[in-house]
Chains A and B, each alone.
Chain A
């Protein structure tokens, strides 16, 4: 019996997820600075986001509006009176040594998000309840130099980039999610996936986990089966991909179960997920509750969204992702399972775009959910960041349909595009990858293949045409896959007079 099923037989996991979403507002949350990702360090700063003495914040209305829209999409109650609060703690990545956040008066509270998970009894709905959605500012970014670990301890010096400081950040906190049993890792993954699609649909964030615009912390505790009291929870940070969400929970369930089986107690602490091992390691201990000395931010005025504004925003909400997916699945002829796979991969928009450039739905799915998903997984990134566009894939599909590329050649074209060799037509020209269907170019290879396979050739001559594959395969191998297989077959049969 695996350690996971052993754990699940003895304990019930209770999940909790805290998700941070960087909003894609043009300017920062409390000043007018730009928010472009990857700009030269400390070029997108001003007295306010540098926290210079005397500077003051002014709230970005779009940031507030985006947060309310997220709350509405998550079925939350929108506060009629909400305030920012200061979260006080010292750290060099925080220019003011406090973070402007929200405490006991968040903008949105008490919502839910339904997610579907495949179980042994078929597809099952799990309702994840949302505790709160609040708005805050991001911190600067620290780079520790000279140390072995890349962490602040042991570093020779540290560099701070305040470009990120003050970017609008929305925190979405779930209530504890019980009763997911063995499906806990899948429920968590489905929740983050669904949330990501919902946020993308709202157009409020890039939701790119690898760039940090969507970040997830996972809380987990185990309760012995039959017990009513929940166990001590751990908080796992650095969970930076959908796959990691699933892995982190699974590994934390196993780890906590072993601790409990050995008669140990679970320490309330922050843990860090490690991509390479798929396990979590201990971070800060949280035994002493953190003292943030929250109090209402006196430099900002309270937010009091009126019902007219809220209803206007509600009426402008886009279609829920699950409804949109059902519609698209029907339109594209995908099964539920196919559609869910595609959604989990974050490929729905890419496929839609590929189709809009002329590809067939099945081909678009084949490439994005197959070859490209594999590449993305190898690199540990999201599909959206692969250096290939929907337009490229659509063009490749057209070339395959027209017989100008074989599947094998198409894969080579994709490889080349991913390493920056240009668009499909440029790659084909540069690498000379076009399908060979010219008789004179193919005949020498066919002749050679027949000579190398006399037995097969003899059988074909006797009329056993089904053996032709052996010869065709040899020709394809010889030509490095660039031959038009149908044409080769035709020529082989013609040559052998069958």
Chain B
């Protein structure tokens, strides 16, 4: 493994600023590693070698001209294929968007470009972000770099795999019900879902508008915070974007101190049927936090047991409407024999262009919104959503942050749950309550499960627009474990082979 790919974004940024390495060299090092090893992992749907090198050279020439550059200028990144990037394919992991070149940059991409971050390419994902394993991609399944027979989590599995495989120090995912946190947990890296409205959704191809949120992946809490800072901020193009100062997540990530903080572990998210190795690591984290001077106690979120049912009504309902536009009339796939009516073309295009899981959710959502069912399903789910959010609001009157295991299990085997959607949905059990409440949450690695030696994640949940609090706890846990292990958890990953 080349030294440059082993460095964190923070370390790379220091070397780039010092001039000891160029952005072009850094980019090439990562592109070389991707070229050599991504055939094993299959994290990328599209590698934009030309675009990335062009961006890198621009950063280098700006640095040569002593122009002011952001801290992360020249650091490479992998982008989930659900965010539009001008003139670069954006498929959302679906055949229905194959060949579409967006004519505009998403606000996230605009922010990345303004910061001089080099976008290496677009990463694989469950089709339209629907799934927890990336097996619902219409193109191929991504493998977990810890064990190539396992799933990398989902829906942002391409982004989590790319960072854990050292193809990029940073990547971007999106999280609707856990699609950043769960992949981060099962690949042993850090992933954060900011407060809903903290990062602009403009250019994020919608799955469930009231839940979708883009966020960062990295191998360290500090890197994650640095990327978070670049992505976040008010955007007048997104009506749900919050017009407030971005919380100082970078400073919080560096505090490494939780003394006096009140931390609650969620009673309902620690239960029967959870993998013992996950529970063991989680219990150790509680002790660790206590030993660092935090006050830890149990908190009950009584309505959180309804989160799964609530989510699987609201998200598919919004999806059924958001995905209506993929009808073959304007862009992407069009199935047209030249003799069909517009209605037939729409039907045939959607029949061929959407995968099974997407169709399943469109049908659930269509049903839930239908007159006669709306009150019993969608409207009822919105009421329960409010109760779940209220539970969390009440909890934060007692504690500063909440914690739980990120996912009930470690990475499972590829193919194991593809015919069992319910088992797949259960992977989101712990990540759903903060999603429904629109509050920030992140996952940090806390060790390997005893049974399978696969990574376990700790979910840290903070109140609305207090994203800095979770970074403070995450940074402290990471620092403490780092000194215990003499390195990051990701440093324990088996080698993928290749020149190292």
A interface residue numbers (CB < 8 A to B): 47, 50-59, 86, 88, 90, 92, 95-98, 152-153, 158, 160, 289, 291, 293-295, 298-301
Contacts and interface: CB of A to CB of B under 8 A. Distances in A.
A55 B324 contact: no
A55 B235 CA distance: 13
Contact of B202 (A56, A96, A301): A56
A98 B324 contact: yes
Nearest first, the 4 A-B pairs at minimum CB distance are: A97-B324, A293-B369, A298-B209, A298-B210
Contact of A299 (B92, B103, B205, B209): B209
19 contacts: A47-B104, A53-B90, A53-B325, A54-B202, A56-B202, A56-B239, A58-B238, A59-B239, A88-B320, A88-B321, A88-B369, A90-B346, A97-B325, A152-B342, A153-B341, A291-B370, A299-B209, A299-B239, A301-B240
B187 interface: no
B84 to A, nearest CB: 5
A54 B205 contact: yes
Given A88-B324, A299-B209, A53 B369 contact: no
A52 B239 contact: no
B329 A92 contact: yes
A293 B370 contact: yes
A54 B239 CA distance: 13
Contact of B236 (A55, A58, A289): A58
Given A96-B325, A152-B342, A291-B370, 19 more contacts: A47-B103, A52-B331, A53-B102, A54-B90, A54-B102, A54-B202, A54-B205, A59-B239, A90-B324, A90-B327, A90-B346, A97-B325, A98-B324, A153-B341, A293-B371, A293-B374, A298-B240, A300-B239, A301-B239
A58 B239 contact: yes
B83 interface: yes
A75 B157 CA distance: 56
A51 B97 CA distance: 14
A299 B240 contact: yes
B195 to A, nearest CB: 15
Contacts of A158: 342
A57 B202 CA distance: 9
A158 B329 CA distance: 11
A152 B320 CA distance: 26
A298 B238 CA distance: 11
Given A95-B325, A299-B209, A53 B371 contact: no
Interface in B350-372: 366, 369-371
B201 interface: yes
Nearest to B343: A90
Contacts of B371: 289, 291, 293
Contacts of A50: 330
Most buried by A among B201, B331, B369: B369
Given A295-B321, A300-B239, A54 B83 contact: yes
Contacts of B90: 53-54
B158 interface: no
Contacts of B205: 53-54
Nearest to B84: A54
Contacts of B327: 90, 92, 97
A289 B370 CA distance: 11
Contacts of B203: 54-55
A90 B350 CA distance: 12
B342 A92 contact: yes
Contacts of A59: 239
A295 B201 contact: no
B55 interface: no
B146 interface: no
Interface in B185-225: 201-206, 208-210
B182 interface: no
A59 B318 CA distance: 19
A350 to B, nearest CB: 41
B399 to A, nearest CB: 29
A457 B432 CA distance: 107
A48 to B, nearest CB: 8
Nearest to B210: A298
Most chain B beta-carbon neighbours within 10 Å: one of A54, A92, A152: A54
Given A51-B325, A88-B321, A56 B330 contact: no
B107 to A, nearest CB: 9
Contacts of A86: 321
A430 B331 CA distance: 55
Nearest to B318: A298
A293 B321 contact: yes
Contact of A52 (B103, B342, B346): B103
Contacts of A54: 83-84, 90, 102, 104, 106, 202-206
